[in-house]
């Protein structure tokens, strides 16, 4: 596989085997939504460790792969995503939506996913939008996972502000999240 960004492998790959797979695999078949996929580091991990464990499990990936003024080469990242997913042999389990979450999420039905991994637009507005949609889209016992919450990084304050605003809009006063590595994790069932 071909990855140039270290984000997933330096952080989540060390801890996800201890909680993502043990929670989700016994629930199989599962449906996962990933918001922001870049080269597919998390997507391929989830395919190999969770989705591939049951023939009816699926992952939906939402990412515009569009530069929007950043220096990243998103066409190249998209090409690596496609190749990396092909290499897992599980490409038919992936629904790839090349779109922003603002366009892709609203038409999706309520309570559709067992896990939603929010790692897309890291602005406060973007994180708030994705949080509100994720609460709607998660199954009652689904898992919500926000990246870039528990470490000091360029976007952390914005992501935290967006997550808190999104949860407040859903009637949550105290943020009932767990810290697992740099990510914040919550079961949908703790929310009103």
Ligand X SMILES: C[S@@+](CC[C@H](N)C(=O)[O-])C[C@H]1O[C@@H](n2cnc3c(N)ncnc32)[C@H](O)[C@@H]1O
Q: Applying CB under 6 A, does 16 fall inside the site for ligand X?
A: no
Segment near ligand X (CB under 6 A); pick from 61-69, 134-142, 166-174, 181-189: 61-69
119-148 footprint of ligand X as x/- string (CB under 6 A):
xxx----x----------------------
Among 33, 47, 60, 63, binds ligand X (CB under 6 A): 63
The least distance separating ligand X from the CB of residue 93, rounded to whole angstroms, comes to: 16
75-114 footprint of ligand X as x/- string (CB under 6 A):
-------------------------xxx------------
The least distance separating ligand X from the CB of residue 141, rounded to whole angstroms, comes to: 23
What are the CA-CA distances from residue 127 to residues 27, 28, 100, 104, 124 (Å)? 27, 28, 12, 15, 5
Q: Applying CB under 6 A, does 37 fall inside the site for ligand X?
A: yes
| E strand or H helix at 141 | strand 138-146
The closest residue (CB) to ligand X is 36
* Distance of alpha carbon 65 from alpha carbon 33, whole angstroms: 16
Cα angle value 13/6/94 (rounded, 5°): 65
Query: What tokens appear for 83 in the block?
Result: 């190749």
Q: What DSSP state is assigned to residue 68?
A: T
The least distance separating ligand X from the CB of residue 63, rounded to whole angstroms, comes to: 4
Residue 89 burial (C-beta neighbours within 10 Å; 0-12, 13-18, 19+): exposed
Q: What are phi and psi of 37, to 5 degrees?
A: -120, -20
Q: Given the rule CB under 6 A, which residues bind ligand X?
A: 5, 7-8, 35-38, 41-42, 62-65, 100-102, 119-121, 126
């Amino acid at each position: 596989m071909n990855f140039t960004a270290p984000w997933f492998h330096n952080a989540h790959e060390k801890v996800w085997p201890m909680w993502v797979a043990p929670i989700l695999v016994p629930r199989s078949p599962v449906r996962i939504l990933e918001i922001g996929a870049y080269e597919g580091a998390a997507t391929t991990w989830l395919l190999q460790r969770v989705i591939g464990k049951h023939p009816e499990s699926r992952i939906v990936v939402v990412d515009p792969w569009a530069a929007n003024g950043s220096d990243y080469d998103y066409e190249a990242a998209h090409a690596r995503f496609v190749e990396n997913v092909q290499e897992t042999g599980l490409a038919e389990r992936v629904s790839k939506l090349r779109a922003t979450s603002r366009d892709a999420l609203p038409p999706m039905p309520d309570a559709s996913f067992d896990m939603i991994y929010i790692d897309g637009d890291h602005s406060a507005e973007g994180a708030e939008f994705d949080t509100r949609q994720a609460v709607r889209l998660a199954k009652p016992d689904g898992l919500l996972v926000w990246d870039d919450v528990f470490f000091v990084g360029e976007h952390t304050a914005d992501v935290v502000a967006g997550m808190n605003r999104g949860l407040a809009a859903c009637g949550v006063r105290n943020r009932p999240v767990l810290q697992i590595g740099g990510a914040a994790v919550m079961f949908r069932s703790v929310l009103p």
